[in-house]
A and B are shown apart, each in its own frame.
Chain A
Amino acid sequence: MSRAEGQKTRSIVYCHCAYAKVIDPEVKQKVLEGLCASEVAFEAVPDLCEMSARKDPAIARLSATSDLEIAACFPRAVRWLFHAAQHPLPEKVTIHNMREETADEIVARLTGASREQEQELSS
């Protein structure tokens, strides 16, 4: 069984925060690097803030996805950005804060959970 098969229950979103330097570039880079090096499916978005203000259809698409895991900034900011775009996030969302957590922690959670599930499934 491939590692990605353990990801059946989650959808991963990475925010690149492209239009400001609020997230340490090293953290962003390492998280994206970790995702690119893994076998997980994910969506990388340029800037959730811009997408919220522009009412980008991707916001609607993402909010309609169950079991989301988002790597962005403060959960309170991310939640209200989706709300501002008229597509509130569902209750069951995990938000990893690249402004406060380390890249290693985030990558481990995003890609590690699928590894655990993979082990569970194959045992």
Chain B
Amino acid sequence: MSHPEQERLRVVLYEGPGSQRLASEERLETMTALLEGGYGVTRPRPGGRVSPEDESTVVMLGRFGETPPAESPAEEGRPAVLVRDIANQASMAVLEQVEAARDGAGLPAPGKWTPWFPVVDYDRCTNCMQCLTFCLFDVYGVDKEGQIQVSNEDKCKTSCPACSRVCPEVAILFPKYKKGPINGAEVKKEDVQSESMKVDISALLGGDLYASLRDRQDTARKRFSTERDESRALLERKRCLAELKETLDIPDEVLMTLPSAGDIEERARRAKEKAEKRRARSKTVQDETQRVPSQDEWGI
């Protein structure tokens, strides 16, 4: 399921009037500890600009000494403000204070999941649904307008960029992938060509992967049967899989569950049908709402 908008903590490192400044190395250490712990940090400066206040609970960190500013509860659209003194505290102790404040506010802990998921570049996407039909893990879905969308980010298999290889438009990104254009690097003409070649590979990956494995195994078996060395046939199979895995960068778990070419076509057909129905439904609703009411309906 897609993640609902969750309330999070906003950590502010305050070094203005009433709070002693941190040395730049201390600031760096504190920020790094918080970031590694999954917390963002806002550093306001006089005359500088940061993003506006919202309803996220604020934890204001500072070296306040004797007279820390007063805390305030959430009221009328303004966030609750918690104040934590970090005087004489090492970076890890600051992180612990923030963790405790988050716990106390009943907010979720950050960083429990490796953020690996596809991101669609809608400037390129033609809504062909190949990604949806290819992925067996329900990562993709369609929105109310029948447009492809990533619906279940956390169902995506970490480090698997397989769907980006079936996209004929090179419209699927994995920002944490090592190579371009999948990592978000600009798409070049050659990329489109080479990526579309990979569509053929993906078709091959369907039913034909197993056929090609069988062929190679048979050839190997014939060759090896004379040698009576079955373990070499097994090695050959492993090598073939490893080769595919390396070329396409697809983890075993995904490789073994890839749909057949027939499955892909069938799912594509069904997804398109579903999207059409949704589009038709939303058009009917629009037509209904745009219809000029009759005199009877106006009560004239």
Are A50 and B122 closer than 8 Å at their CB atoms? no
* Chain B facing A: main interface SS: loop
Nearest CB in chain B: distance from A123 CB, A: 17
Nearest CB in chain A: distance from B136 CB, A: 20
The chain B residue with its CB closest to the CB of A118 is B47
A90 beta carbon closer than 8 Å to chain B:
no
| From A22, A58, A114, contact of B8 by CB (8 A) | A58
B141 beta carbon closer than 8 Å to chain A:
no
Are A49 and B115 closer than 8 Å at their CB atoms? yes
A42 to B50, CA, bound (A): 6
B134 beta carbon closer than 8 Å to chain A:
no
Nearest CB in chain A: distance from B205 CB, A: 25
A76 and B43 in contact, given A33-B28, A65-B51 (Cβ under 8 angstroms): no
A45 and B54 in contact, given A8-B47, A81-B119 (Cβ under 8 angstroms): no
Nearest CB in chain B: distance from A42 CB, A: 6
The chain A residue with its CB closest to the CB of B46 is A4
A80 and B115 in contact, given A41-B43, A44-B43, A46-B110 (Cβ under 8 angstroms): no
Nearest CB in chain B: distance from A82 CB, A: 10
- Total interface residues on A, CB under 8 Å, equals 58
Most chain A C-beta atoms within 10 Å of own C-beta, residue among B10, B24, B43, B150: B43
CB-based A-B contact count at 8 angstroms: 184
A62 to B184, CA, bound (A): 20
The chain B residue with its CB closest to the CB of A13 is B51
The chain B residue with its CB closest to the CB of A37 is B24
Chain A residues closer than 8 Å to B176, beta-carbon distance? 17, 19-20, 22, 49
A6 to B52, CA, bound (A): 19
A5 to B37, CA, bound (A): 31
Chain B residues closer than 8 Å to A41, beta-carbon distance? 43-45, 47-50
A54 and B48 in contact, given A46-B110, A60-B54, A84-B150 (Cβ under 8 angstroms): no
B183 beta carbon closer than 8 Å to chain A:
yes
Proximity string of chain A (39-61) to chain B, C-beta cutoff 8 Å, 1 when within and 0 when not: 11111111101111111111011
> Which 9 residue pairs across A and B have the least CB separation, nearest first?
A41-B48, A77-B184, A74-B184, A5-B47, A77-B175, A50-B115, A41-B45, A49-B115, A16-B35
Residues of B within 8 A of A (CB): 2-8, 10, 24, 27-28, 31-32, 34-52, 54-56, 110-111, 113-117, 119-122, 150, 153-154, 173, 175-178, 180, 183-186
Residues of A within 8 A of B (CB): 2, 4-11, 16-20, 22, 29, 32-33, 35-37, 39-47, 49-58, 60-62, 64-65, 67, 73-78, 80-81, 83-84, 99, 114
